Amino acid sequence: MTTKTRPGNFFEDFRLGQHLVHAPPRTVTEGDIAVYMALFGPRFALHSSDPFAQSLGLPRAPVDSMLAFHLVFGRTVADVSLNAIANLGYAGGRFGVPVYPGDTLTADSKVIGLKPNKDGKTGVVYVHSTGLNQRGETVLDYRRWVMVRKRDADAPNPEAHVPELPAAVPATELHCPFSVPAGCYDAARAGSEFLWDDYQPGERIDHVDGMTIEDAEHMLATRLYQNTAKVHFNLHVEREGRFGKRIVYGGHVISLARALSFNGLGNALLVAAIHGGRHTAPCFGGDTVYAWSEVLAKDPLPGRDDVGALRVRTVATKDRACADFPGHDASAPADPAVVLDLDYSVLMPRRI
């Protein structure tokens, strides 16, 4: 039987330095924003109100940072992680120009690392992916690594190479597209009185609220991004897999944690960088996600006294409220309740 279908790349199909052109391009619409808000309920004012965004010098409310991330990520799945077992982590992620409804996003990736696993059936693929808008401007640039199945356990493994990954994105490379005129920031409308100056390194914030993941919602969200990874959709196959059920896309948990973080970080208007992150355990339909954050650093932006970068570590847990969660130390052994450990920087107005 002849076929014109594409089974996706298996581990033995990847080559170091390989350039992957992802399809299809994706034009962002108002509908995407409405569905995203219905799924996660983010309340950050910059993404919710055109007049609020215009008061900070933007033409209108930009797309939520994490929606932009998922739309770029979704371009890459068919070529990178269609046959993935798990998406393992991120590093060196930089957000560029804001995304607005009407923008069209494309993505390309370069294979920067390969590591066969000892089981002989899987391997880890490292890629550097870039998302551009229709003007060729970078909207997102990041690295991730993913565990991918082999098609044939006896097939020779690709050349092994583990890349050196950036530990962090320097504050000098953070892009801030908005400005805060003196005396013009409406903290009351933003929903929080706490600005960049009010946070201190070492401070920990329990975001209090929890949100239960529904199977229908996580599959709808993943389809919204055109993420076609089989582990998220095909219960017929996954029933015979490691967990016996569909795995929630890790980015779904990131969006939940980001939305929950509004309660305590309400003026964290944009995500500027993802320094690193790990999905430490899977989530499934029916799990309830909570989140807490630790302030890691306060970084002034060069030449700016109106906006600062807050480097934050956000930990998401499942079925265990953060108030009674003891494993707050990043160096401690992973607790099975932890599903996400994300190190990132947000942009926040300063007191001027």
- pLDDT tens per residue, range 87-125: 899 999 999 999 999 999 999 999 999 999 999 899 999
Are 128 and 205 in contact, with CB atoms under 8 Å apart?
no
Task: Indicate whether 15 pLDDT > 90.
Answer: yes
Helix (H, G, I), strand (E, B) or coil at 171: helix
Cα–Cα distance, 34 to 45 (Å, whole number): 15
Residue 289 pLDDT greater than 70, yes or no: yes
Q: What is the mean pLDDT of residues 184-205?
A: 96
Helices (H), 193-290: 215-224, 235-238, 250-260
| Mean per-residue pLDDT, 170-193 | 95
Q: Is the Cα dihedral 64, 337, 340, 263 positive or negative?
A: positive
Residue 327 has pLDDT above 60, yes or no: no
Average pLDDT, the chain: 94
**By CB neighbour count within 10 A (0-12 exposed, 13-18 middle, 19+ buried), where does 236 fall?**
exposed
Query: Residue 326's pLDDT band (boundaries 50, 70, 90)?
Result: low
Mean pLDDT of 253-277: 97
pLDDT at 158: 84
Whether 227 and 73 have beta carbons less than 8 Å apart is answered as yes
Per-residue pLDDT at 335: 81
Q: Domains along the chain?
A: 12-154+165-171+184-349 (3.10.129.10)
pLDDT number for residue 333: 54
pLDDT on residue 145? 96
Q: What's the predicted TM-score (pTM) here?
A: 0.94
Instruction: Give me the sign of the Cα torsion angle 331, 274, 37, 286.
Output: negative
Side-chain half-sphere CA neighbours of 82 within 13 A:
15
Residue 1 has a pLDDT of 59
Sign of CA dihedral 140, 145, 146, 151: positive
What percent of the chain has pLDDT above 90? 83
For residue 300, the SS3 value is strand
